[in-house]
Structure 1
Amino acid sequence: MLPLWFVENSNADEFWTEERCYITELMNTPASPETSLAIARVEAGVTTQLHHLDGICERYVIRKGSGIIEIDGERQTMQAGDQAIIQPGAAQRITNTGPGELEFYCLCTPRFRPETYVNLEE
């Protein structure tokens, strides 16, 4: 029997989202409702969907590439190593302004759940 604290590797595949980016969920389980961790990948020239998350604080840590993040109408250039803290309910999107892919970690507290995602473009 496995210990309660152990979460087996789910071998999560990258998937396309309506947000106009690819997501790989590294950690998102009811066993750890406090947090989730994913990698987002945005292709060159793409801007993600304007949205907000209900009740979830999201943090981006840029791994690769560069872009412009917009949070509640305020824009900031970002590059590898930069971080953004996005408060619950804040309108957000990011644009890949570089020649290659933009990749970043998405750390959510509490963990991301699809029903918390609100599309602000509709």
Structure 2
Amino acid sequence: MLPNWFVAREEKPEFWTEERCFITELMNTDASPETSLAVARVEAGVTTQLHRLEGICERYVVRKGEGIVEIDGVRQFLSVGDQAIIPPGAAQRIANTGSTDLEFYCVCTPRFVPESYVDLETGGVDA
């Protein structure tokens, strides 16, 4: 019998979102509702959809590339190693300003659930 703290590896391929980026979920399970971890990949020249996460604090940690993050109308350049802490409910998007893919870790507390995503561009709810 496996211990209740063990979560077996689950192969989750990268997938495209209507947010205009690719996501690879590394950790998002009912066994750990307090946190989720994913890698987001934004192609060169792309700006993600303006959105907010209701009730979820999100943190970006850049691992490749560069871009400009916008949080509640304030813009900040980010490059490898930089972090952005996005409060729950804050309007957010990120633009890849480089010539290669922008990749960053997304750490959400509590964990990301699709119902938390609010599309601020079209008024729809997409994830």
In which range does the TM-score fall when normalised by the shorter chain?
over 0.9
2: distance between equivalents of 1:7 and 1:84? Answer: 28
1:56-111 Cα deviation digits (max 9, x unpaired):
00000000000000000000000000000000000000000000000000000000
Alignment coverage as a number of residue pairs? 122
Amino acid at match of 2:97: T
TM-score, normalised via structure 2 length: 0.95
User: Match of 1:15?
Assistant: 15
For residue 84 of structure 2, give the secondary structure of its aligned residue in structure 1: strand
**Residue 72 (structure 2) aligns with:** 72
Aligned partner of 1:61: which letter? V
What is the Cα deviation at residue 2 of structure 1?
A: 1.0
Tell me the distance in 2 between the aligned counterparts of 1:15 and 1:3.
Answer: 30
Identity among equivalent pairs (%):
75
Unaligned runs of 5+ in 2: 123-127
- What residue number does 1:109 align with? 109
1:52 positional shift: 0.2
SS at structure 2 position matched to 1:48: coil
Matched residue type, 2:108: C
Separation in 1, partners of 2:60, 2:77: 13
Q: Secondary structure at the match of 2:8?
A: coil
- TM-score between the two structures when normalised by the length of structure 1: 0.99
In the other structure, the counterpart of 2:96 is 96
**Unmatched segments (≥5 aa) in structure 1:** none
